[in-house]
A and B are shown apart, each in its own frame.
Chain A
Amino acid sequence: MSQNRIMRDHIRALLKKDARPDGRGFLDYRTCLSVEYGVSPKTAEGSARVRIGKTDVIAGIKLGLATPYPDQQDQGTIMVGAELTPFSNKNFEMGPPSIASIELARVVDRGIRESGAIDLKKLCVKAGEQVWQVFIDIYPINDDGNLRDAASLAALAALKDTLFPTLDKKTGMVDYYTKTKTKLPLNDEPLEITVIKIGDTFLVDPTLEEEEYLDARITVALLKDGTICGMQKGGTEALSTEDISQMVKIAGDTVKTLRKVL
């Protein structure tokens, strides 16, 4: 993405005047915020669509059987994928997964994995032989900034929407057409909030325009009780420890807005 100096200066000048390009307060989330469950109810085990302003993301869950990792014989596994294609943003490119899509998937993965939100022990079918594998896949429909928060919210909503397919224990075959009433065992609800810094200003829920001109960003994964379970810094500028504390505090306050729509 090429930075346009005039736009950059314009945004900085605006922020100095306590204004944001779309008229929001610095710590205001876009008001058009919604979660829709079951966007792919027939084929996915769970799915959800999140809209934040014009940003629109769908996430879906597939469950499959796999052999466990040698060091975690009685635990299921998680895999998170994200596809950033020109479908949702003209600047994305086709081809092998871009570094941006890998980072997005890994940051969402971190929040879910490190929180222990999914009870992996309950995903064990037969220790050492067969466990459930949880595939979380993220597809942006329209990118107008803050894909990170949207992806994390969509992933959590999809996990909450998930029902197991029927497993024939004798043959070891999965009947994907018949869903059971068993939900995915969730211990907690990790959500990620990204706070960005432009000049001396902290902003939440950046639009595409603001994201393009950020100096630094921090994504914080938070549990229901406010515990931090994952973090990722991005952007080219360095941050002071005071900056970080303040950004984490902002994230902690902002996450409440997102929990309301779940």
Chain B
Amino acid sequence: MSKIKRAEGRAVDGLRPMEAKVGVVPSADGSAMFKIGKTIAIASVRGPRKLHPKFLQNPEQGRLRCFYNMVSFSGSGDRVRPGPNRRTKEINLVMESALAPALNLKQFPNCAIDVFINLVQTDAGTRCAAITAAAMALADAGFEMKDMVAAVAVGMSGGNVIADLDYIEDSAEDGVDIPIAMMPNEGKITLLQLDGKIAPKSLDEALKLAKVVCKKIYDVQRKALADHYTIADEPTKKVTKKATKKAKKEAKK
């Protein structure tokens, strides 16, 4: 890959600085904050709880609902008008299908699992940050999950395949934005969108890159969950998923 100049000296496959924290909303069943660069997403999970109105209930399986919300002062530029619009409704839909494959919704007939995501500040990559935070919040809520879900936008800007586009790269004239969510252990993609023009060969390259960088995001997610459920005196070296669950159970007691 050729050397290109990105803001703050980032490599083509470099991610913006990340920060993750679990349990940020004490009253929620599960919650998490994920920050990547200047984009900040906070997720709060409520449920499983009875789904209303009743005609939406499905006796076969529960329903995952996502509520993506940019707070009014989170956009660069004018104030964002509160309330759902066409964009947020589509994002809710793709978020639901990005996260549902990791859950076992058959466990919750007639129920809803609601994930509320507030974007406090945005600089591109909001739906990916929202999914990453939401997946952590679902894990925090104690749901049985097949795998984590980590999300990132890959794409092209200035003729290079790059990871984690910021707003300037995303909105560049030749910018291609490919938000991707993956189950990092299974290596499967649960969200794929593409905005822009790209050659099939570059797309392959971008998908390969996504696989690598999603693993990095996954590491941050895992660490945040492990940190939250590890008792300070215990050795923090190996925290398996089982240990995480166990710690959570004990914390509940």
Contacts and interface: CB of A to CB of B under 8 A. Distances in A.
A54 B71 CA distance: 21
B79 A64 contact: yes
A135 B114 CA distance: 29
Interface stretch (B116-124, B194-202, B205-213, B241-249): B116-124
Interface in A37-51: 39-45, 47
Contact of B76 (A42, A85, A139): A42
Contacts, number: 97
A36 to B, nearest CB: 12
Interface residues of B, number: 31
B74 A85 contact: no
Nearest to B24: A141
A90 B27 contact: yes
Nearest to B75: A43
B27 A88 contact: yes
Contacts of A44: 73-74, 121
Interface string B54-89: 000000000000010101111111110011000000
A62 B121 contact: no
Main secondary structure of the interface of A (DSSP, over half): loop
A109 interface: no
A43 B72 CA distance: 10
B26 interface: yes
A37 to B, nearest CB: 14
Interface string A124-158: 00000000000101010111100000000000000
Contacts of B73: 40, 43-45, 47, 60-62, 135, 137
A89 interface: yes
A177 B75 CA distance: 11
Contacts of A90: 27-28, 46, 49
B166 to A, nearest CB: 11
B118 A62 contact: no
B114 A141 contact: no
B114 A86 contact: yes
A81 interface: yes
Contacts of A89: 27
Contact of A42 (B42, B69, B123): B123
A60 B72 contact: yes
B44 interface: yes
Nearest to B122: A43
A135 B76 contact: no
Contacts of A176: 76-78
B120 A144 contact: no
A118 interface: no
B20 interface: no
A94 B67 contact: yes
A54 B75 contact: no
8 contacts: A40-B120, A62-B79, A83-B82, A85-B116, A90-B49, A137-B72, A142-B25, A144-B26
Given A41-B121, A87-B67, A176-B77, 6 more contacts: A39-B120, A40-B40, A42-B76, A81-B72, A88-B25, A135-B72
